[in-house]
Amino acid sequence: MSSSASPRRDARRNHERLLVEAKKLFAERGIDAPLDELAVRAGVGAGTVYRHFPNRDALVRELYDTGVAELQDFAPEILGAETGWRSVELYLERLAAWVAESPYLPAVMRRVAELDPSYRPGAEFEEAINGLVARAQAEGALRDDVTAVDLSILVDMLGSVGQYGGTYLPFWRRQLTIVLDGLRARPDLTPLPGVGLDFASFHDMSHRKTPPPVSR
C-alpha cells in the first residue's frame, strides 16, 4: 500500500462525514447554519471543512447534486415495475419518503436556482415520469386526466410531513393510501378542473423561480 493511500482514504471519509452531518445540520437549523458547527459535528477542524468545500455555496451545490444522483438511483426499480400502476405507486412512495426524510432539500433547491438559474438537471426526469403515467393510463389503472406534474406535486405534498421532524414519519402512509385511491381510474370520478401545469414551469416553481404566466 502506498504512503498516500491512507491520507486519500481519510479525505474521502471526512468528505462523506461532512455531507452526512451537513444534511442533519441544515435540516435542523437551515442552510445558513454556521459551518464551524458542521466541523464540530463531523469531528474535524474548520480548515478541513474549507478544504473540501471552499465556501457554503460549494457545499449546497454538492448536496443538490447528491440529491439528483439519489433520484437517479430510484429509477430502475420504479421504471422496471411489472405494471404501470406499480410504477406510479413506487414513484409516490419512494420519492415522498425521500423528501420527508430530507427536509433541507427545498432550501438547497432554492439556493442553487439563485446561484445558477441555467442549471436544470431535474428536467431530465420529465420524459421518464411522462412515460410511467402513459403506461399506467394505457392499462386503464390511472385516471386519464392525471399528468406527470400532478404526480410530482403529490410527492411534494406527501413529503411535506418532514416538517414535523421524525414524529409523523411512521404514519405518513395513511395519506399515501388516500392519494393512491384518488388516482385510480373508475367511472364515478370528478373531472380535474382546468389544464395541468407544464413540467418546465413546475421545475422552475419548485426551485422558487418565477413561472411564466398561466394563460386563461
Q: Where are the domains of the chain?
A: 1-54, 56-206
Q: Which fold has domain 1-54?
A: Arc Repressor Mutant, subunit A (1.10.10)
Greater model confidence, 60 or 209: 60
Q: How far is CA 168 from CA 42, 70, 100, in A?
A: 27, 23, 10
CA dist 216 and 208 (Å) reads 22
Look at residue 5 in the predicted model and tell me its pLDDT. 59
At residue 7, does pLDDT exceed 80? Answer: no
Say yes or no: domain 56-206 is CATH 2.60.40.
no
56-206 matches 1-54 in CATH topology: no
Residue with cell 436544470: 120
pLDDT in tens, 29-87: 999 999 999 999 999 998 999 999 999 999 999 999 999 899 899 999 999 999 999 99
This model's pTM is above 0.85: no
Contact at 8 Å (CB) between 158 and 99? yes
Res. 216 pLDDT band, cuts 50 70 90: very low
pLDDT in tens, 100-156: 888 888 889 889 989 988 888 878 888 999 999 999 999 999 999 999 999 999 998
Of 87, 186, 203, 94, nearest to 134 by C-alpha is: 87
Look at residue 211 in the predicted model and tell me its pLDDT. 42
